[in-house]
């Protein structure tokens, strides 16, 4: 299980209803079912990952949220909606955030912070798009469409009157530090948000 998912599992209540958008192979939902007895549902578009979800006993729906949206889900049908390391790859991320909070009582998001100081200096001094463990792609094959920063997401929450319950900023090993707490937008590599209306 990815390190960001290890961190956010503590934010999910036992026995709750959890929707994981872009659930991958379903290992996170399977883990939550085993340890927290959640009622699970995953959304995934990759056929191989869907098969892995089914093999792991995870309830999964084949759906492209970027193309089809999330209108097929009733309002308040989940306690928590998770969107991990996917926000930056969506065509309309602001609309998906709205939908997450329509469908669920709260949402949990993780995304890479494009304003991290090494990314800034890579562009400024090297003149090329940054690469790192959290951004491992070349500019021409990246799935990232929207380069979001921590300040950008904070402003989006403020504009949409979204309440941030918790925010954690971590490095590539998902550890925090005093520097990251002091200047999260400059020193944080990955952002983890717990949000609600």
pLDDT at 119 over 70: yes
**56, 27 in Cβ contact below 8 A?**
yes
Write the burial class of residue 154 (CB in 10 Å: 0-12 exposed, 13-18 middle, 19+ buried).
middle
Please indicate whether residue 193 or residue 86 has the higher confidence score (pLDDT): 193
- Domains parsed from the chain with CATH numbers: 3-115+146-196 (3.40.50.150)
- The per-residue pLDDT for range 149-171, each reduced to its tens digit, is 999 999 999 999 999 999 999 88
Report, as an integer, the average pLDDT of 120-125: 77
Task: Note the pTM of the prediction, 2 decimals.
Answer: 0.89
pLDDT score, position 162: 98
pLDDT score, position 5: 85
């Amino acid at each position: 299980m990815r390190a960001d998912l290890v961190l956010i599992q503590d934010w999910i209540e036992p026995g709750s209803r959890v929707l994981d958008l872009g659930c991958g192979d379903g290992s996170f939902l399977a883990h939550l079912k085993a340890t927290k007895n959640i009622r699970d549902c995953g959304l995934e578009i990759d056929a191989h990952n869907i098969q892995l979800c089914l093999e792991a006993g995870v309830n999964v729906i084949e759906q492209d949220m970027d193309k089809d949206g999330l209108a097929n889900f009733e309002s308040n049908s989940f306690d928590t909606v998770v969107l991990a390391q996917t926000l930056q790859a969506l065509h309309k991320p602001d609309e998906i955030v709205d939908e997450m909070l329509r469908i669920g009582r709260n949402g949990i998001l993780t995304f890479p912070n494009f304003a991290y100081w090494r990314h800034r200096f890579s562009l400024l001094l090297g003149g090329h798009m940054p690469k790192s463990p959290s951004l491992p792609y070349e500019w021409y094959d990246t799935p990232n469409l929207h380069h979001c920063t921590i300040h950008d997401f904070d402003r989006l929450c403020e504009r949409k009157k979204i309440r941030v319950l918790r925010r954690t900023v971590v490095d590539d090993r998902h550890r925090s530090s005093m520097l990251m707490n002091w200047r999260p937008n400059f020193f944080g590599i990955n952002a983890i948000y717990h949000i609600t209306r």
